[in-house]
């Protein structure tokens, strides 16, 4: 098991070593405006709502949790 993780870490290190000269630094991106920030908040709330609804509709142990949607 340790030989696999050692080999994997060496391969990842090799990829980073090869690719590092080709990565160029970029300037910082401009600050988002208020409309973009509001859109991101709404998107996060909708994703959390979808996650909660998924767990309500598909419980992990259906025998111990009885929920009827309609």
26-51 pLDDT, tens per residue? Answer: 777 777 777 778 889 999 999 999 99
Residue 17: inside a domain: no
Is residue 59 pLDDT above 70, yes or no?
Answer: no
4 lies in some domain: no
Joined tokens for residue 16: 């980073």
How much is the pLDDT for 42? 93
Assess whether pLDDT exceeds 70 at residue 23: yes
In a domain, 8, yes or no: no
Better pLDDT: 16 or 28: 16
Question: Got the DSSP string for 9-64?
Answer: HHHHHHHHHHHGGG----PPPPPP-HHHHHHHHHHHHHHHHHHHHHHHHS-S-TTT
**What range defines the domain where residue 41 resides?**
32-60
More confident position, 45 or 62? 45
How many angstroms separate the CA atoms of 31 and 41, rounded? 16
Over range 40-66, report the average pLDDT: 81
């Amino acid at each position: 098991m340790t030989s696999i993780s050692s080999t994997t870490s060496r391969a990842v290190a090799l990829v980073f070593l090869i690719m590092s000269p080709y990565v160029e630094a970029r300037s910082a991106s401009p600050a988002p405006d208020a409309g973009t920030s509001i859109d991101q908040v709404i998107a996060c709330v909708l994703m959390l709502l979808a996650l909660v609804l998924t767990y309500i509709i598909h419980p992990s142990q259906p025998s111990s949790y009885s929920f009827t949607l309609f």
